[in-house]
Amino acid sequence: MKARSIILDKVRNSKPSFIPLDDIKYSSMVCRTDRNNWWSQFRALAETVGASVIRLDSQHDFQQFIDEYCEGQAIVNLYHHPDAPTLMPLDNTDLALIQSAVMPAAFAVAENGALWLSEKQMGIRVLPFICEQLVLVVNEREIVANMHEAYERITGDLEGFGVFIAGPSKTADIEQSLVIGAHGPKSLTVVILGNGGSDPA
Amino acid sequence: MPSMKVGLFVPCYIDQFYPQVAIATLQLLQKLGCDVVVPLEQTCCGQPLANSGFSKLTKGCEKNFVANFAGVDYVVAPSGSCVLHIKEHLPDGKSPSLSTHIRSTIYELTEFLTDVLKVEKLEAYFPYKVGFHNSCHGQRGLGLSSMTELNMPGFSKPAMLLGMVDGIQVQLPERQDECCGFGGTFCVFEEAVSVKMGKDRIREHQSNEVDVITGCDVSCLMHLEGLLKRQGSKIRVMHIAEILNCQ
Amino acid sequence: MKKKHAELAEVFNADESMTDWHDETLWWIRQKRDRSAHNIPEWEQLRQWASDIKAHTLSNLDYYLEEFERNAIANGIKVHWARDAAEHNAIIAGIIRENGVSRVVKSKSMLTEECHLNDHLKDLGIEVVDTDLGERIVQLRDEPPSHIVLPAIHLKKEEVSKTFHQKLGTELGNHDPVYLTSAARDHLRERFIEAELAITGVNFAVANTGEFVVCTNEGNADMGAHLAKVHIAAMGIEKLIPSQKHLGVFTRLLARSATGQPITAYTSHFRTPARGRAIHIVLVDNGRSRLLGQEDFRNSLKCIRCGACFNTCPVYRRSGGHSYHTAIAGPIGSILSPNLDLKANADLPFASTLCGSCSNVCPVKINIHEQLWKWRQVIADKKQFGLFKRLSMRVTATVLSSPFVYRITGRMARWVLRNWPAMINRKSINPWYKQREMPEAPKESFREWYVKNGQL
């Protein structure tokens, strides 16, 4: 603990006099576009970052989509079976074989096409990162304008892990050529569940 | 307009190598009704020393500067870089009120024309295609024009003035506010990068097929001129004062 | 003696088409950054907030460090403190040994680069695999990264292909980035699955929740951290922010400034270890508290490592990251590195024209170019220059302080240039003349003209 007290002492002796911090008043900002446009903004941004976005209006349509989308694949569907991971103890090698994972997202962010998932939605932390294809399902009521509102929603969420996901895994480390699927999912599909659908788990 | 007393600050290298720029500045200011004073004992603002890390050696320059420019309403110079140096680094020294006055009333030529004289028209004629070079200290330091990095409405004081010249065609290079690579002693201590930066600026002006490259800082222009001459280019460099004073 | 920036930059510039490519590639990223920033009407306000939040945090840093530690421990995270690079390396090596681990993966962390962790672990016989594609490329080539966000930006795909052919057995002559990335994906997937311990950096640490945030596009930090049993996160003590709501400001700025993306693909918030797993955090000082005590340079601790100043810097773009001979290159590196070793890095504050573009793109409004200027003064004061330069500056100061001496010297210089140009126009003694003509020397100075004609 020697290092700790030495560092803290040095910081205490070096820091400037206290600078107060005003509250961030983002609600007064000009950026708040019309709520009716949030989904179209989200869709445009999510597509820009490489996701495909579809809107489905009923549970039936959603079920049909899942059946077709995942046909013949190794799939984990946490949307319909939230307990699935705990029922099947998977080691790293098994996890790496998962082709598709379907999971609910808590909400979407209009300004950047991102979706928030916390640990309870992904079951196993690595799941949204290791699967080859990721499907995130979000209810059309669940959208916020920007990251300030996003953090307002997360505050108090005491999950051990959470992540904003915007598009599939990507890299541009070779000559700045964009390549999708650097390590994690090679595709991200965002399903927006419309009025007829029930709430995500 | 009551005539104001303007001290003409002629940076050392302009005095020695580009007298025509100082002459044009003097004539332009006189045409616009200023009572121009040229202090004869002026030398240098001290920037070359300070930018090299030797700001402690600039006391002599500063003392001399204050002595020469005490007692004028404004100090005006055809060089954004030297003006910025005085504004930011002229210390209070032995006569704090004089120094404060100088720091707050020193102007680069184009901002003096637009902001103080509020010039709206000029009797100038220059029938050529002109490439405008934004010098960094003028633009980012003094705010002579908007900067591409910042989210702000576009404006340019020098371009506004060039727009008052008859017959002129003004063009900006593709990267409209990239540094030319002069950078004071950078131009010799980092010769390779300095030259490459200058060559890249010139290439963009060349592709615009300009006759003349102009700007508000002779230092940038001197560097570009050195490169243009070595390349055997037909493009000339001229300080903006020379164009605004052209009839 | 290590080569200096100017010499290394000259070598970089020997291949002009490569220099052009490097410049244009980074400029393209700068333009993406501009478009992204200009799409946010409140962009300048966000920068101000970010700067204010950081200024406040730094002014109360001891408090926030303790608050963060308390909350992190309550979350089940083990917290370590390291005064310098050596302690940082020793702590991490200790955790690796305690866990009896031999397979380690690491996602990008500029702090571990700053501390030369890989070399240290290698000396101890521990192999670390860098998992960020760019970092893996340079690691396979035994090179340091040349950019904090784009580690392999100095390489063309042909060179990457050659390296991958030699090290990973990819097809000779196949330069397709998709093919090469896919080969790296397969190669690294094996390493991820086998890894027992993962090291990551930290983008933001939140005092009021004890959580930390890691941002990547590839998902490599998450693959490593979630698959391994032990996760070590290394962070400089300046990464703290007071509360979670402040992440709203920084997550809007970071990726837009770095690459022009609206947000990174993954913005991961680690609060507690998963069941049966462990998370360690190493809080590192390594000169940061010293920087905090220097008013002129304190602001550099606001840096969020977005790399925007690299991409906009006309000198960086035309000299490459390796010419800065430090872990963190570019304008921000040139104000951070002198604090770590003034003598070795005394050339870096001069590797700039002070154009100021860096300060304008900086999302936390660090006055980078002003700090470069201030470091120059420190370097001159501490006599880091040779005697010749110091003497010549003294002579210049004497000449410019006396109007009479100045006039005589000016007249002499012009006379020499006109009548004896060969004395000055020599490439061996005059770097200006190597690729530029000298200005023409007029017979009369302005003053001489004015005395004759001015007062008509």
| Distance (Å) from the alpha carbon of B66 to chain C's nearest alpha carbon | 12
Q: Could you tell me the pLDDT band of residue A1, with boundaries at 50, 70 and 90?
A: low
Integer CA distances (angstroms), B179 to B131, B156, B193, in order: 14, 17, 11
pLDDT at residue number A31: 52
Helix or strand (DSSP H, E) at C391: helix C387-401
Using one digit for the tens of pLDDT, what is the confidence trace for C32-87? 999 999 999 999 999 999 999 999 999 999 999 999 999 999 999 999 999 999 99
Q: What is the DSSP letter of C385?
A: S
Give the other-Cβ count within 10 Å of A75's Cβ. Answer: 18
Average of per-residue pLDDT across C422-441? 92
Whether the pLDDT of residue A199 is over 50: the answer is no
> Smallest Cβ distance to A167: which of C65, C193, C265?
C265
* Cβ <8 Å between C315 and B136: no
* Cβ <8 Å between A130 and C223: yes
pLDDT at residue number B2: 59
* Cβ <8 Å between A95 and C152: no
Q: Number of B:C CB contacts under 8 A?
A: 211
Tokens of residue C146, six digits:
């040349």
B21, B105 in Cβ contact below 8 A? Answer: no
pLDDT at residue number A200: 42
Average of per-residue pLDDT across B15-21? 97
Q: Which residues of C touch A183 (CB under 8 A)?
A: 131, 185, 188-189, 192, 218-220, 223
Instruction: Report the alpha-carbon distance of residue C296 to residue B245 in Å, rounded.
Output: 43
> Smallest Cβ distance to A183: which of C66, C157, C223?
C223
pLDDT at residue number C229: 96
E strands, C66-146, where? Answer: 78-82, 103-106, 127-130
Instruction: Report the alpha-carbon distance of residue A1 to residue B59 in Å, rounded.
Output: 50
Instruction: Report the alpha-carbon distance of residue C251 to residue A112 in Å, rounded.
Output: 10
Sort B33 into a burial class: Cβ within 10 Å, 0-12 / 13-18 / 19+. exposed
pLDDT at residue number C383: 82
The SS3 of residue C229 is coil
Helix or strand (DSSP H, E) at B133: strand B129-133
| Distance (Å) from the alpha carbon of C38 to chain B's nearest alpha carbon | 5
Q: Which residues of C touch A93 (CB under 8 A)?
A: 193
* Cβ <8 Å between B49 and C396: yes
> Smallest Cβ distance to C83: which of A6, A147, A166?
A6
Whether the pLDDT of residue C414 is over 60: the answer is yes
| Distance (Å) from the alpha carbon of B169 to chain C's nearest alpha carbon | 26
Q: What is the DSSP letter of C294?
A: -
| Distance (Å) from the alpha carbon of C427 to chain A's nearest alpha carbon | 36
Optimal mutation site among C13, C354, C424, C444, interface B, most CBs of chain B within 10 A: C354
Instruction: Report the alpha-carbon distance of residue C289 to residue C201 in Å, rounded.
Output: 19
Average of per-residue pLDDT across C275-290? 97
Whether the pLDDT of residue B1 is over 70: the answer is no
Average of per-residue pLDDT across C160-164? 97
* Cβ <8 Å between C350 and B60: no
Q: What are phi and psi of B128, to 5 degrees?
A: -140, 165
Q: Could you tell me the pLDDT band of residue A190, with boundaries at 50, 70 and 90?
A: very high
pLDDT at residue number A201: 37
> Smallest Cβ distance to B46: which of C400, C441, C449?
C400
Instruction: Report the alpha-carbon distance of residue B205 to residue B194 in Å, rounded.
Output: 17
User: Which range, of B229-243, C126-140, C262-276, C414-428, averages the lowest pLDDT?
Assistant: C414-428
Per-window interface: C 38-57 vs B, CB < 8 A: 38, 40-41, 43-44
Whether the pLDDT of residue B200 is over 90: the answer is yes
**CB within 8 Å of A164: residues ≥ 6 apart:** A109, A114, A115, A116, A150, C251, C263, C266, C267
C17 vs B: CB within 8 A: no
Helix or strand (DSSP H, E) at C44: helix C43-59
Whether the pLDDT of residue C167 is over 80: the answer is yes
> Smallest Cβ distance to C434: which of B10, B48, B191?
B191
Q: Could you tell me the pLDDT band of residue A81, with boundaries at 50, 70 and 90?
A: confident
> Smallest Cβ distance to C185: which of A13, A24, A183?
A183
Tell me what percent of the residues of chain B surpass a pLDDT of 90.
96
3-state SS of chain A is CHHHHHHHHHHHHHCCCCCCCCCCCHHHCCCCCCHHHHHHHHHHHHHHCCCEEEEECCHHHHHHHHHHHCCCCCEEECCCCCCHHHHCCCCHHHHCCCCEEEEECCEEECCCCEEEEEHHHHCCCCHHHHCCEEEEEEECCCEECCHHHHHHHHCCCCCCEEEEECCCCEECCCCCCCEECCCCCCEEEEEEECCCCCCCC
Tell me what percent of the residues of chain C surpass a pLDDT of 90.
94
* Cβ <8 Å between C380 and B52: yes
* Cβ <8 Å between B53 and C451: no
Nearest CA in chain A to C243: A155
Q: Which residues of A touch C251 (CB under 8 A)?
A: 147, 164
The SS3 of residue C454 is helix
CA A200 to chain centre: 14
Higher pLDDT, C5 or A123: C5
Q: Could you tell me the pLDDT band of residue C368, with boundaries at 50, 70 and 90?
A: very high
Whether the pLDDT of residue A149 is over 80: the answer is yes
Amino acid at A13: N
Q: Which residues of B touch C356 (CB under 8 A)?
A: 136-137, 140-141
What do you get for the CA distance between the two ends of chain C, in Å?
Answer: 61
Instruction: Report the alpha-carbon distance of residue B152 to residue B140 in Å, rounded.
Output: 13
Q: Mean pLDDT, chain C, as a whole number? A: 96
Average of per-residue pLDDT across A152-178? 92
Q: What is the DSSP code string of C313-346?
A: -HHHHTT-GGGG-SSS-HHHHHHHHHHH-TTTTT
Q: Number of A:C CB contacts under 8 A?
A: 254
Helix or strand (DSSP H, E) at B108: strand B106-108
Whether the pLDDT of residue B173 is over 50: the answer is yes
Q: Which residues of B touch C430 (CB under 8 A)?
A: 188
A165 vs C: CB within 8 A: yes
C372, C353 in Cβ contact below 8 A? Answer: no
pLDDT at residue number C389: 87
B198, B181 in Cβ contact below 8 A? Answer: yes
Q: Which residues of B touch C426 (CB under 8 A)?
A: none
| Distance (Å) from the alpha carbon of C445 to chain A's nearest alpha carbon | 50
Q: Mean pLDDT, chain B, as a whole number? A: 96
- Cα pseudo-dihedral C328, C329, C330, C335, rounded to 10: 60
C226, C130 in Cβ contact below 8 A? Answer: no
* Cβ <8 Å between A164 and C153: no
Nearest to C339 by CA among C383, C298, C283: C298
| Distance (Å) from the alpha carbon of A67 to chain C's nearest alpha carbon | 27
Whether the pLDDT of residue A29 is over 70: the answer is no
* Cβ <8 Å between B60 and C401: yes
pLDDT at residue number A197: 47
Tokens of residue B51, six digits:
């930018």
A150 vs C: CB within 8 A: yes
A114, A82 in Cβ contact below 8 A? Answer: no
pLDDT at residue number A36: 77
C neighbours by CB contacts (3+ pairs under 8 Å):
A, B
Sort B118 into a burial class: Cβ within 10 Å, 0-12 / 13-18 / 19+. exposed
B23, B44 in Cβ contact below 8 A? Answer: no
Q: What are phi and psi of C211, to 5 degrees?
A: -100, 165
Give Dmax over CA atoms of chain C in angstroms: 92
Q: Which residues of C touch A86 (CB under 8 A)?
A: none
| Distance (Å) from the alpha carbon of B213 to chain C's nearest alpha carbon | 16
Tell me what percent of the residues of chain C surpass a pLDDT of 70.
99
The SS3 of residue C347 is coil
> Smallest Cβ distance to A18: which of C59, C137, C295?
C59
pLDDT at residue number C398: 94
C109, C212 in Cβ contact below 8 A? Answer: no
| Distance (Å) from the alpha carbon of B134 to chain C's nearest alpha carbon | 11
Whether the pLDDT of residue C277 is over 50: the answer is yes
Nearest CA in chain C to B10: C446
In angstroms and rounded to an integer, the radius of gyration of the C-alpha atoms of chain A is: 20
| Distance (Å) from the alpha carbon of C215 to chain B's nearest alpha carbon | 24
A184 vs C: CB within 8 A: yes
pLDDT at residue number C2: 81
Higher pLDDT, C101 or C383: C101
- Name the pairing type of β-strands C278-284 and C230-236: parallel
C421 vs B: CB within 8 A: no
> Smallest Cβ distance to A114: which of C62, C156, C263?
C263
Average of per-residue pLDDT across A155-173? 92
Q: Which residues of C touch B181 (CB under 8 A)?
A: 314, 353
A129, C226 in Cβ contact below 8 A? Answer: yes
Tokens of residue B246, six digits:
């052209």
Amino acid at B157: K
List the Cα angle C252/C266/A74 in 5-degree steps: 150
